[in-house]
Structure 1
Amino acid sequence: MSAGSTYERLLSESQGGGLEHAGGGGAPSPPDPGHLITELSDEVAWLEERLGQQADPEALERLKRGAAHALREVVDHGADARLGPRDMASLEAVVHSDGSRPVLFVEDDFFDVTAPAAVDWVSRLSRIHDELRTVCRAVGRVNDPTALLGYQGTAWAIDDGVVVTNYHVLEAISSHPSRIDGKFGGELKPGVAVDFGGEVGGGPSDRVFRINRVLGVGPAGAPERAHPTLPSINFDGLDLAVLELGRVSGRPFPTPLQVARGDDQATRGALASRGRSVYLVGFPGRAGSTTPDVFAELFAGVKGVKRLTPGVLTEGRGEVDEDERRWIISHDASTLGGSSGSLVVDLEAEGRKVLGLHFAGVPDRVNWAHGLEGATPELDAAIPGW
């Protein structure tokens, strides 16, 4: 699917009232550039009030001009739209603000219901209020005192005092990292920890746990199986690390989250299927974004805080090209640098079961996660008694 057709679908979807109404009958309304630019302006105004700072006026004007140009290209040419990096960055700002794929602050272990972009999601997400709070409490920022922004990615609780993140996040917080047969070689940097607070405005300060040791890592994958156009990506490998946290007297670990298992007789390893509604929780904000966050040029305060992003699975297990192991899924939720290690959670049924571990993507909205139903044996091996 081209970037033009992807954004045409997302922007048309927002005109119809969000994901809940997708496929609800009739053709979707075409994107209305004027209306979408107004919503973008409203989002910026809300951020100015929310963060207590003014957007850079020149950067804001560039953003509006870029968004108007990119929207017109999509409206006029659809799937054949010619979109450069700045065009897609501008469209990202639009889909973050128009309600189709928002990036919502997490506050008090829940999403910020006052955000203009949240209007189409308040009802649906509020139905899983308790489950959503459990998920948000279980997601932490992987702090690294040596990093430019003080952190390297996201981790989440899978067992008591045990978290999961990406292997490439572990590499970033380690010295001389290596992996052979599920075993990690290397040393953790001093001071690395997982902060389960990290919300906008600071959040709870008593949820930080140092990383004690590495329990296990996923296999690297055969070098000859590297992605044909993205050599840093290898679908034959498992970009996963399991870390043990150090205990702090009087401070309980977050409640571990339920994970979809490949050996579940009820679901038969097929829960992560195409079209399923999902949401991610993580800490977007670093450079090297999967999908650029133009708001970061306007406001420093959007970086490095816990945020929630909804979307759908665009490919289920066994549908992703080059994935012979059947442990990759794809999704269209907004993901930014720092989202590495975010969990992909089922928005249907119970609303709290983890379907995947986000690890990579490319800027035209192809986002990949490891479907954990396909990685059950590796998790069993790394987590005693799991």
Structure 2
Amino acid sequence: MRNDAVDFVARLLKRRPELRDDVAARLGGAAALEGTDAGDIRALETIVSEQRPVFFAGQDATGQSLIDLADASIRGDEARYLKEELERRQAVVTPLLNRIGRIDVEGMTGAPFVGTGWIIDDGVVVTNRHVAEVIARRSAAGYSFRMGAAGLPVSLSFATGHLKSEVMPGVAIPIASVLYIEPDQSAVDIAFLKLSVQSSVGTLSPLPIRLASIGESTPLCVLGYPAKASPRIIPDQALMQDLFRDVYDVKRVAPGFVARQAPELITHDCATLGGNSGSAVVVMETGEVAGLHFAGIYLRETRQCRHTCCVTIARGAAGRGRRSSRPGIYRRHCRVRRLARQQLPSQSR
């Protein structure tokens, strides 16, 4: 955890060198910035946490989506920058919010929802494998919903509301079936759900997918539904309560930056919690989805599936009903652009 916090501070100072003297003073001197023992871990944790705000998604008097920039904990210089950047990009980001939804569940003991999802194709929601596996399982015929507490299949819906304060409720569409769940042995944590055919489905157009590469320190925001974490997951409960205003299970916008990239993985440093599984990770400048959030560790970078995986798997799964064979994955951007306009043929691994 210390090394990840040190890496965060190094990236912070690379972007904002004017903060070097302040950070050095808080870590116990300039030498701490150069050595492997970068000061007290609590000082590092404070520097990390104060730089990443979390905002409520909301509505105006007419029910149009907005980002509440006032009700948030803004403590660090970079947090202020991210707030200003998000304010500049509101016209780009807010139109995406009504296509982000909770995966709500009835008939199962525990939480009222299992994660976040978003519209990636006509009538198709993308989420995480580990989210889908809570409510569905593989069978010889494809996939089936798990049985609930009463011995009946659980009832699922994709709900775009659940705001801190709602002028009008969001759309709630039943989930009809599971299209595809990535096998457990794969590192790609992704699944696709098919919505019931309703008139409201046609109002939810797919989110735009980022096809071009993105650079390190590109401003991002995570759109999803963070859920309250236990002390075992987040030891500093006071910090969590401050950053998230002690309000959970509602739609949030969490800005941050790209941290690093690997062939099928992008890490970011936005503030997220467990309910964010399946969230859209959006490039603030363009409003394009760069990836699918799937994991995070306290005060460490969080992870997302690379954008190419999302678009290629989705286009192949959407249109093949309940078949469980995995669509082909192509990483070359020219191939992704072509495949975004047509369905993928099934391919073996």
TM-score of the superposed pair, with normalisation by structure 1: 0.66
Q: What residue in structure 2 maps to residue 238 of structure 1? A: 188
Q: What residue in structure 2 maps to residue 5 of structure 1? A: 6
- Aligned partner letter, 1:346: V
Structure 2 matches for 1:144-223, cutoff 5 A? 144-145=105-106, 146-174=108-136, 177-178=137-138, 184-188=142-146, 189-202=153-166, 204-221=168-185
Q: What residue in structure 2 maps to residue 62 of structure 1? A: none
Work out the CA distance in 1 between the residues paired with 2:235 and 2:67. Answer: 21
Q: What residue in structure 1 maps to residue 291 of structure 2? A: 356
Instruction: Specify the SS of the correspondent of 2:20.
Output: coil
Work out the CA distance in 2 between the residues paired with 1:258 and 1:311. Answer: 20
Answer yes or no: is the 8 Å Cα contact 2:276–2:293 preserved in 1: yes
Answer yes or no: is the 8 Å Cα contact 1:184–1:217 preserved in 2: no
Q: What residue in structure 2 maps to residue 40 of structure 1? A: none
Answer yes or no: is the 8 Å Cα contact 2:57–2:66 preserved in 1: yes
Q: 1:275 to 1:249 in 2, by over 3 A?
A: closer
Work out the CA distance in 2 between the residues paired with 1:293 and 1:248. Answer: 41
Answer yes or no: is the 8 Å Cα contact 2:98–2:170 preserved in 1: no
Q: What residue in structure 1 maps to residue 15 of structure 2? A: 23
Q: What residue in structure 2 maps to residue 382 of structure 1? A: 317
Alpha-carbon offset, residue 211 of structure 1:
0.8
Answer yes or no: is the 8 Å Cα contact 1:218–1:241 preserved in 2: yes
Work out the CA distance in 2 between the residues paired with 1:166 and 1:179. Answer: 19
Alpha-carbon offset, residue 311 of structure 1:
1.0
Work out the number of aligned pairs and report it. Answer: 298
Structure 2 matches for 1:218-297, cutoff 5 A? 218-221=182-185, 236-249=186-199, 252-261=202-211, 267=212, 271-287=213-229, 289=233, 294=238
Alpha-carbon offset, residue 75 of structure 1:
9.2
Alpha-carbon offset, residue 72 of structure 1:
6.3
Work out the CA distance in 2 between the residues paired with 1:25 and 1:296. Answer: 27
Q: What residue in structure 2 maps to residue 106 of structure 1? A: 57
Q: 1:247 to 1:185 in 2, by over 3 A?
A: closer
Q: What residue in structure 1 maps to residue 149 of structure 2? A: none
Alpha-carbon offset, residue 286 of structure 1:
3.6
Q: 1:112 to 1:198 in 2, by over 3 A?
A: same
Unmatched segments (≥5 aa) in structure 2: 60-64, 147-152, 320-341, 344-349
Q: 1:75 to 1:332 in 2, by over 3 A?
A: farther
Per-residue Cα deviation, 1:32-76 (whole angstroms, up to 9, x for no partner): 99xxxxxxxxxxxxxxxxxxxxxxxxxxxxxxxxxxxxx768999
Alpha-carbon offset, residue 285 of structure 1:
1.6
Alpha-carbon offset, residue 8 of structure 1:
3.7
Work out the CA distance in 2 between the residues paired with 1:158 and 1:215. Answer: 13
Work out the CA distance in 2 between the residues paired with 1:179 and 1:275. Answer: 42
TM-score of the superposed pair, with normalisation by structure 2: 0.72
Structure 2 matches for 1:28-177, cutoff 5 A? 28-31=20-23, 80-81=37-38, 87=42, 91=45, 98=50, 100-108=51-59, 109-115=65-71, 117=74, 119-145=80-106, 146-174=108-136, 177=137
Answer yes or no: is the 8 Å Cα contact 1:357–1:371 preserved in 2: yes
Alpha-carbon offset, residue 193 of structure 1:
1.0
Q: What residue in structure 2 maps to residue 313 of structure 1? A: 258
Alpha-carbon offset, residue 315 of structure 1:
1.0
Instruction: Specify the SS of the correspondent of 2:275.
Output: coil
Q: What residue in structure 2 maps to residue 340 of structure 1? A: 277
Work out the CA distance in 2 between the residues paired with 1:74 and 1:157. Answer: 49
Work out the CA distance in 2 between the residues paired with 1:254 and 1:290. Answer: 34
Instruction: Specify the SS of the correspondent of 2:271.
Output: coil
Alpha-carbon offset, residue 133 of structure 1:
1.4
Alpha-carbon offset, residue 297 of structure 1:
5.4
